[in-house]
Structure 1
Amino acid sequence: MGAALHLAHVQQTPVKKRRPKRTGGGGGDGYDKLVTRVYQDPRMTPEARELILLLAWLTVRDPNRFDEDGNLIRNWRKRASDILGEYGNGRRNESRLADLVYADRPRYEPPHLPWGEQVCGAPMIRRQGTCGQPARGHDYEVDLETGWWTPVYFCRRHEQWGRQMHQQRVSGLAPEPIPNAGGLLPSYFAGSDSKAQERLKAWARLYKEAAVWKLDRFWEPPKEYGLCADDWPTPGMEPTEEPEPFRLHLAAVDGERVDSGMTR
């Protein structure tokens, strides 16, 4: 993963040249607060947890994070890749780092179709209720406020109704769905200072690089809701004022550039 990024935590004092190499961190570096937040976050996935904790450790606790002059080493790629490793699949070496970034790409995940015998949900005209006959096909109904999908099933008699649901979904008239998966990495590392937008742009490039590496040509960043899961609305819940969560900072090189490539 060739994204060469700056990792600089919120409260770290700049290290002077020729200062002896540091070997550890204390509670004041914010690491403990971030780890606590990770384990208490109900949105957390195994992949996001693995990478967030690794990046936090590389930022403030890795004893090899300083060079011989005592300066913080900005490029975390090689250290992260060495720890996570690679694996072969017969064609090329896969990047565990790319796997973890791709798993956290911001996206909307439609509901999985339930198993078992399904019945037609088409509304009946001459009586109240739905058809109820055994289904022979399915599609999704789109919520015109959230953009979220709900599975619908139809029988042979109501195939036209099923086609209408399909046309509504693919017409482009439905809103962009509110993301409900991924977006945890920028929630923990984008920060909220004047450089936050630059970091979010860097994350967008990293997610795209990971998608290309995983042969996903279709992923694009959410246009309306952004990359950060902390910023996404939750349908059915009113927004509430909450304290700013503790974050570490992850900035692109010079605040602008992210080099391409997802291999070591």
Structure 2
Amino acid sequence: MGAALHLAHVQQAPVKKRRPKRTGGGNGNRFAEIAHRIYQDDRADTRARTLLLASAHAVTMAPLDEETTVWRAICNAIGSSITGWDGLRAEIRHDLPRYMPPGSRWWSDPLDQLCRGPRVRMHPDGPDDFRNKLKICGEKTRDKVVEKDPITGWHTNHFFCTRHRDHLQRVSAQVAEQNAAAPPPVPNSGGLLPSYFDCDWVWMYRWATRNQSWEPPEMYGLRADDWPVPGKDPVPQRARLRLVIGDGGLEDGPHAD
């Protein structure tokens, strides 16, 4: 995704004031370049894009001094939706590298929790009803079989109601061996901050989640740029620009919890 910027190496809350690193001005051309790349990144939802743009503004444009660290500048750029460090924690948690299985995003699948068993009779709502078009039962249910892709480990949910219990058992038997051999799922959410900015992101994600045992996704790492996406070429690896900004200025870090 292009050259990355270094936000901070944040190991603990600063214990003393530091001389200003940048006072006013900034690099408008660099910000415009990064902003263009962020807007073209279809992996970023509105919330992630806001955090990425605020971070880019903080490290290229925002006046930084002894009172306004890069992290405070990020909060200021996002605006009133950020109230203290807990607000910043929430925004960073949203970028947590992870796999989001189907159904974990609200309304991401209109057929979520609907029985996929075959429809025998026409549904009375008419030929244009989705159940008739797809020739599925469509009954609401929570009973499912999870099928894991043998390459990506991604999940496909097959829901069946009580009337189609035999279908559930048959599908479960069919995918059992495949599921056992499937790899850990490739992450499909988050990981954008490390793709744009250099930082101790393991520490930052632990700080954001208040979980000191959190680890990056097995096999795949932190950066969304490094995750394989079926049908797409790998993102080219490019040199990163390091921009060291003091201790980061985060208060109430994990060491204070």
For the aligned pair, the TM-score class normalised by the smaller chain equals 0.5 to 0.7
The aligned residue for residue 49 of structure 2 is 49
Corresponding letter in the other structure for 2:25: G
Match of 2:37 in 1: 37
Identity %: 33
Show CA shifts across 1:174-228 (max 9, x none): 20111111110000002xxxxxxxx3xx102211222237xxx996411211111
- Give the equivalent residue in structure 2 for 1:138: 144
1:158 is matched with 167
1:135-155 deviation per Cα after TM superposition (whole angstroms, max 9, x unaligned): 763221001111011121342
State the SS of the aligned residue for 1:95.
helix
Confirm or deny that 1:244 pairs with 2:234: no
Structure of higher RCO (CA pairs closer than 8 Å, 6+ residues apart): 2
Which sits farther off after the overlay, 179-188 or 133-142?
A: 133-142
Name the amino acid aligned to 2:99. Y
Give me the TM-score of the superposition, normalised by structure 1: 0.62
The 8 Å contact of residues 188 and 248 in structure 1, kept in 2 or not, is answered as no
RMSD (CA atoms): 4.2
CA contact (8 A) 2:62 2:73 kept: no
Q: Is the 8 A contact 1:139 1:165 kept in 2?
A: no
Q: Distance in 2 between matches of 1:151 and 1:166?
A: 11
CA distance in 1, matches of 2:74, 2:20: 25
Is 2:89 the partner of 1:108?
A: no
Aligned counterpart, 1:210: 208
Deviations 1:71-101 (A, max 9, x none): xx7x43344446656789xxxx882211110
1:232 matched residue in structure 2? 227
Matching of residues 71-150 of structure 1 within 5 Å? 75-81=69-75, 84=79, 95-112=86-103, 113-115=109-111, 117-120=114-117, 137-150=143-156
Q: How far apart in 2 are the matches of 1:251 and 1:23?
A: 17
Q: Is the 1:187–1:228 Cα contact (8 Å) retained in structure 2?
A: yes
1:235 CA displacement: 0.9
The Cα shift of 1:38 comes to 0.9
Whole-angstrom distance in 2 between the partners of 1:169 and 1:107 = 22
Q: TM-score, normalised by structure 2?
A: 0.64
Q: Do the aligned partners of 2:95 and 2:192 also contact (CA within 8 Å) in 1?
A: yes
